[in-house]
Amino acid sequence: MVPYRVGLGYDIHPLVEGRRLVLGGVLIPFERGLLGHSDGDVVCHALMDSLLGACGLGDIGEFFPPQDPKWRDAESIRLLEDVVVRVREKGWDIGNVDVMLVAEKPRIAPFVARIRESLARVLGVPEEQVGFKVTTNEGLGSIGRGEGMCCFAVSLLVQRKP
């Protein structure tokens, strides 16, 4: 068996009035939030899919189906905790993750360190093993018009030695 595995995750949600904006488990002050069955945290969702993919476990919809009322308004950072447990149960440790959020507004730069810290804590790794970056879509498309946010994540898993 190959001692390393890589997974890719992606998520996108529209911004709507009347919702809290949560990214990487951190509450961001803004007049709109991400629409989703859970809290809509695109950072956690993309990261969960990258971890699950690297393990060959499928995607978050299989573990936390949106039609299940149990997950309504769930905190995605708690769902990420569950995914990390599953990854470890399969014999894998997290080598590093790299996350790229694409958002026009609000300005996320003041929250980058807190988001990175939140993710590192849940993943159980030092902050140096968590990359978190933010970019804009340069005004192009629905993301560029500020209608939503999307996120990409890559995870490297390392097989635990017996």
pLDDT digits over 109-149, tens only? 999 999 999 999 999 999 999 999 999 999 999 999 999 99
The domains located in the chain, with CATH, are 4-159 (3.30.1330.50)
148 is in an annotated binding site: no
118 is in an annotated binding site: no
13 is in an annotated binding site: yes
pLDDT digits (tens, 9 = 90+) for 7-31: 999 999 999 999 999 999 999 999 9
All residues at 6 or more sequence positions from 51 whose CB lies less than 8 Å from its CB, including other chains: 7, 9, 83, 84, 87, 94, 97, 155, 157
135 is in an annotated binding site: yes
Global confidence as pTM: 0.96
Per the structure block, which two tokens stand in for 26? 């951190």
Helix (H) or strand (E) holding 78: helix 76-89
45 is in an annotated binding site: yes
